[in-house]
Chains A and B, each alone.
Chain A
Amino acid sequence: GAVVSQHPSRVICKSGTSVKIECRSLDFQATTMFWYRQFPKKSLMLMATSNEGSKATYEQGVEKDKFLINHASLTLSTLTVTSAHPEDSSFYICSARVSDLASGGVYNEQFFGPGTRLTVL
């Protein structure tokens, strides 16, 4: 099946620094990717929809200037947490929608990455 990777899997940083998280579709093209956030023992909350070649669409309540999203290619989206603070500590998960018809039966389906655990000290 289609594979989505995230890097890094775990990151610890100091308060005030910026952290970049990568989401890659390894064997398919993805014009649309999604970023989710999960607090401890809570469900996943959609943060934003990442669109290749255009601006991301943010969900209500998500700070655009805080969580910068760039989707510069058909296989890569990045989430940058700027000026991170301890309250930004969370588990971040991305998903990618299969957008190339050559993928056959999984076209238009979504696959999830393994997640990135961010800890801000």
Chain B
Amino acid sequence: GIQVEQSPPDLILQEGANSTLRCNFSDSVNNLQWFHQNPWGQLINLFYIPSGTKQNGRLSATTVATERYSLLYISSSQTTDSGVYFCAVPNSGNTPLVFGKGTRLSVIA
């Protein structure tokens, strides 16, 4: 099946700093999503981005499908950005999403 690798596994930032999270996948995909899991376990949709670039406030994401990676940018980080960020892609065709192991982000005031 498809392999999904996220880096870095852990990241500690000072409030106000910027960061880039990376998601590599081993096969071509027609769907890619980024999620934020807050400290209470809730998974929040950030981006549905099979290709191209999207922005939502301080967050933006870029997927380069031909090179099999996606990047999540967080600018001017806040303590509320803390949690785990997951990317997910389908295993193949019309199959459920496979999740990476996540990047655990801690933003310190």
The judgment on whether A and B are partners is no
B interface residue numbers (CB < 8 A to A): none
A interface residue numbers (CB < 8 A to B): none
